[in-house]
């Protein structure tokens, strides 16, 4: 049995997918959640977590291959450190540096005829007229989960290691795909939940995904699906991507405006698995080992009607969780379960909730109800200190 080591901020979903693919899994992450698959060897990280610290922790662990998750894409040198003497299943550091360069990505996509937001490394690299005629976002070059993204006021200097990206009005989404040898097979399109206070999120913070039987309710004729598939194909060709990847975009009138590429396992891949019943990690391994891609395309055969979604529930204030084992045994719709008695600062994830619905709207409503249930449980725990585990 191939022994794979998976490292990243949160590994629970990818590790479970790898187990379904028949692999022996060791996981290094920032949380060591209670609901890791029972066969997964979990190596908890000392806080604070960093990609380099995770890579160092992996040095003495026995494995045949390594896979990185978020946030390694922002630290190519940590990818090199993680790989060491092991086979890397994923994009190498040189590829990651290129595809994560916002200027290069925009240049490549414009040349190939795709819509893309304008990007500037500094306000001074374009005319004043162009700057004031558009709305802009300040984004960190080492971005992740929508954190530290904010509107630009038009005159303030940019923070170090940041850039300007044109704000595009539309619906946030992503396409996830498997790539090898300059080809890509899309696995699915999802709508992203961003900055929703009902989940304790704000600003442009990622807080979930909804994967619908209709890829885009605003584009039921498949226009967006075709365009997103072509986008995945082009990025795979131009940058030589391998394995599973994702592209975040803003959809407007059925056109995906590419925002960034995530050259690794993405959060919405778990929704593809729940909807379609296959191991995305198995597809990742096959693409990385032998360049083999799935036989289906997008849209492909699915085992569901309606929509399936997930939402990240963030702490609205500092909390101490109680006996979370009740979630593990009684609620299959809660994942990424923290350890009993764990202290969670405000703004940090508490857990993930899952739901299905007859359509996108019904699924979102169910997610909101599940999140409300989590907050009610948190309130009960923190109002009765004697009941804490």
Verify that 149 and 210 share a domain, yes or no.
no
Question: Per-residue pLDDT tens for 352-365?
Answer: 999 999 999 999 99
Final residue in a domain of this structure, among 227, 256, 290: 290
Residues 73 and 157 in one domain: no
Could you tell me if residue 94 is inside a domain? Answer: no
Whether 96 maps to a domain, the answer reads no
Question: Does some domain include residue 125?
Answer: yes
Q: Are 285 and 320 found together in one domain?
A: no
Q: Are 328 and 34 in contact (CB under 8 A)?
A: yes
Question: What CATH number corresponds to the domain at position 13?
Answer: 3.40.50.720
* Spatial distance between the Cα atoms of 368 and 123, rounded to a whole number of angstroms: 39
Phi, psi of 262 (to 5 degrees): -110, 100
CATH number, domain of 370, equals: 3.90.600
**Residue at 20 is within a domain:** yes
pLDDT by residue (tens digit) across 94-144? Answer: 999 999 999 999 999 999 999 999 999 887 644 444 566 789 999 999 988
**Residue 301 domain-assigned?**
no
If asked whether residues 196 and 254 sit together in one domain, one would say yes
- Residues 195-214, mean pLDDT to the nearest whole number: 92
| 155 and 175 inside one domain | no
**Claim to verify: residue 186 and residue 285 sit in the same structural domain:** yes
Tell me whether residue 297 is in a domain: no
As a whole number, mean pLDDT of residues 8-33 equals: 96
Q: Does 333 fall in a domain? A: yes
Residue 85 pLDDT class (50, 70, 90 cuts): confident
Mean pLDDT of the chain: 91
Window from 185-194, 262-271, 323-332, 355-364 with minimum mean pLDDT: 323-332
Quote the pLDDT of residue 389: 42
Q: What is the rounded CA–CA span in Å between residue 334 and residue 202? A: 21
Q: Is the pLDDT of residue 386 over 70?
A: no
Check if the beta carbon of residue 98 is closer than 8 Å to that of residue 75. Answer: no
Q: What percentage of the chain reaches a pLDDT higher than 90? A: 78
Name the band, by pLDDT with cuts 50, 70 and 90, for residue 259: very high
Q: Report which of residues 213 and 53 the model is more confident about.
A: 53
Number of structural domains, the chain?
4
160 and 211 share one domain = no
Peptide bond into 184 cis (omega under 30): no
Longest dimension (CA), the chain: 63
User: Given a cut of 90, is residue 348 above it in pLDDT?
Assistant: yes
- Mean pLDDT, residues 364-380 taken together: 97
Beta carbons of 170 and 239 less than 8 angstroms apart: no
pLDDT band, very low/low/confident/very high, at 189 (cuts 50, 70, 90) = very high
Question: Residue 257 belongs to what domain range?
Answer: 169-290
Mean pLDDT of 164-177: 96
CATH number, position 218:
3.30.470.20
> Do residue 324 and residue 370 come from a single domain?
yes
Residues 175 and 83 reside in one and the same domain: no
270 shares a domain with 173? yes
Q: Encode 299-316: b = buried (16+ Cβ within 10 Å), e = exposed.
A: beeeeeeebbbbbbbbbe
Question: Domain check: are 245 and 274 in the same one?
Answer: yes
Are 85 and 57 contained in the same domain? yes
Q: Does residue 265 belong to any structural domain of this protein?
A: yes
Q: What is the reported pLDDT for 243?
A: 98
């Amino acid at each position: 049995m191939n022994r794979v080591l998976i490292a990243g901020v949160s590994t629970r979903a990818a590790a479970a997918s790898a187990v379904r693919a028949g692999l022996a899994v060791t996981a290094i992450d920032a949380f060591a959640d209670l609901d890791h698959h029972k066969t997964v060897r979990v190596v908890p990280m000392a806080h604070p977590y960093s990609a380099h610290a995770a890579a160092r922790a992996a040095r003495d662990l026995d494995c045949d291959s390594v896979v990185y998750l978020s946030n390694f894409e922002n630290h190519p040198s940590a990818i090199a450190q993680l790989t060491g003497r092991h086979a890397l299943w994923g994009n190498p550091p040189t590829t990651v540096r290129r595809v994560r360069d916002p200027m290069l990505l925009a240049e490549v996509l414009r040349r190939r005829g795709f819509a893309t937001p304008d990007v500037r490394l500094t306000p001074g690299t374009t005319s004043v007229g162009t700057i004031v005629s558009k709305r802009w976002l300040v984004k960190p070059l080492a971005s992740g989960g929508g954190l530290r993204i904010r509107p630009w006021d038009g005159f303030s200097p940019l923070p170090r290691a940041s850039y300007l990206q044109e704000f595009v009005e539309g619906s946030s989404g992503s396409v996830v795909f498997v790539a090898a040898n300059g080809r890509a097979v899309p696995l699915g399109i999802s709508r992203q939940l961003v900055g929703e206070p009902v989940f304790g999120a704000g600003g442009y913070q990622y807080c979930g995904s909804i994967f619908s039987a209709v890829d885009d309710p605003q584009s039921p004729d498949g226009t967006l699906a075709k365009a997103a598939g072509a986008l995945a194909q082009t990025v795979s060709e131009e940058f030589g991507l391998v394995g599973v990847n994702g592209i975040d975009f803003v959809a407007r009138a059925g056109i995906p405006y590419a925002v960034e590429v995530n050259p690794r396992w993405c959060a919405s891949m778990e929704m593809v698995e729940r909807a379609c019943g296959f191991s995305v990690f198995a597809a990742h391994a096959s693409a990385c080992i032998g360049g083999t891609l799935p036989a289906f395309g997008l849209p492909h055969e699915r085992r569901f009607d309606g929509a399936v979604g997930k939402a990240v529930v963030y702490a609205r204030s500092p909390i101490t969780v109680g006996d979370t084992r009740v979630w593990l045994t009684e609620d299959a719709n809660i994942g990424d379960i923290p350890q009993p008695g764990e202290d969670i600062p405000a703004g940090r994830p508490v857990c993930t909730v899952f739901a299905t619905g007859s359509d996108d709207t019904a699924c979102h409503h169910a997610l909101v109800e599940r999140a409300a249930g989590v907050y009610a449980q948190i309130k009960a725990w923190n109002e009765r200190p004697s009941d804490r585990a």
